[in-house]
């Protein structure tokens, strides 16, 4: 069976989300101890709905993290729930994983931007992505003040608004290229 483009892209997206589930779980646990259901809700909230874990995805990930000593779980008889918390090793792993993520995102963005520019699909994509400093404050700086977090969120919002404009321009360039190709085919 041959998959359609949309199906392949959707599958890749799910695989990427699955890959980020452990990172998201650690991120949630930096906020304090949580049981599974609360963790699923918090992950969805913290990722603005981009990652919406299921029990079938989260609990195997938690089991692996626990086995690696990155988190520890404790059954609480009174609540009849297993409550997880991040270990010191887990905090270090989280910090290193976030830094590796930023390196990968930066490289990937620059690489794709360069390729799109060479294909004349988009222009002006080489502007630096300003979300990284804001995300670093929100993810890694637990001591950041409320004002610093608000400022980071405002910068993040402004950058997303800039990206919407950029994506609209990219879409317009792609539409123009499609029309150009179609008119060439019809000749």
Long-range contacts of 53-56 (CB under 8 A, 24+ apart): 53/21, 53/24, 53/25
- Write out pLDDT tens, residues 105-131: 777 777 777 777 676 665 555 445 556
Same domain, 61 and 95: no
**Structural domain range at position 111:** 88-187
- Write out pLDDT tens, residues 10-31: 777 777 777 789 999 999 999 9
CA 159 from centroid of its chain's CA atoms:
15
- Write out pLDDT tens, residues 69-78: 999 999 988 8
Last residue of a domain, one of 55, 70, 86: 86
In 10 A of CB 97, how many CB atoms? 16
| CA-to-CA separations, 99 to 23, 47, 73, 157, in angstroms, rounded | 12, 17, 26, 22
Same domain, 20 and 64: yes
Same domain, 81 and 102: no
Computed over every residue of the chain, the mean pLDDT equals: 81
Last residue of a domain, one of 86, 113, 137: 86
């Amino acid at each position: 069976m041959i998959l359609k483009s949309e199906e392949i892209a959707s599958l890749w997206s799910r695989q990427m989300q699955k890959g980020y589930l452990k990172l998201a779980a650690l991120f949630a646990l930096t906020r304090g101890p949580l049981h599974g259901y609360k963790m699923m809700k918090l992950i969805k909230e913290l990722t603005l709905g981009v990652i919406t874990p299921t029990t079938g995805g989260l609990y195997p990930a938690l089991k692996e993290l626990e086995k690696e000593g990155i988190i520890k779980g404790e059954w609480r008889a009174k609540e009849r729930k297993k409550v997880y918390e991040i270990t010191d090793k887990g905090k270090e792993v989280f910090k290193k994983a976030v830094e590796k993520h930023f390196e990968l995102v930066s490289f990937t963005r620059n690489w794709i931007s360069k390729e799109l520019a060479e294909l004349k699909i988009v222009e002006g994509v080489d502007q630096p992505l300003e979300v990284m400093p804001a995300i670093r404050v929100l993810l890694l700086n637990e001591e950041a003040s409320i004002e610093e977090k608000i400022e980071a969120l405002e910068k993040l919002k402004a950058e997303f608004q800039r990206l919407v404009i950029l994506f609209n321009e990219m879409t317009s360039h792609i539409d123009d290229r499609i029309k150009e190709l179609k008119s060439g085919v019809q000749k």
